[in-house]
Amino acid sequence: MLTQKQLQLLEFIYKRTQKNGISPSFDEMKEALDLRSKSGIHRLITALEERGFIRRLAHRARAIEVTKMPGTQTTVSNNFSPKLFEGSRPSRPIGAINIDSHNVNSVPMMGRIAAGVPISAIEDYTYDITVPGNMVSGQGRHYALEVKGDSMIDAGINDGDVVIIKETNTAENGDIVVALVENQEATLKRFRRKGSSIALEASNPAYETRVFSDTQIKVQGKLVGLIRTY
């Protein structure tokens, strides 16, 4: 069952996409629902995605497709192809290496991490993945997380990428970290400390920087590598 706001947003996205062939911007969604900030839109989008009513097209910022409407169990099909905008999947980076051609190590995959509005805290161990040995060189425990969301897209981290994290409880300004928010939610963001405040900074202008007291944030690891499937 959807809340009134979730249903309102779903109908707005559906009608706008039907009319224009592209999903509305977050600013347009915020205005349509009369919300004060985009963070409320992000929460609604996440809820709709978790319930299977929409999907965010991979590696493209804010490209949303309605997959079904309330009362139906089938995928929405209206003979149109949504246009994509505001970013596209980057080409293979220069210097990218193939895992199978180098020394490799295994690290545990610990679930998903939100690069967007924080979702549930890091899950338990699921399986091991293979990574280049030089990505996890040096002392310390490493683990992997699958990225969910597009808030770090301007840092080259896309929805669906796998990030390799070195476990640590400290960070320098500018580091991209796994941060646990109020012992409940984990997110991947750039770390900024000023006095007793910590800012979790996105790398996508669609997302607001969130500021917390240092007692609300626990650093759980620092980004050391990224794996992408082409």
Cα 42 from Cα 217, distance rounded (Å): 21
Active site residue 23: no
Catalytic residue among 151, 166, 203, 222: 151
Active site residue 189: yes
Which amino acid, 148? K
Catalytic residue among 30, 166, 189, 222: 189
So which residues are the catalytic ones?
151, 189
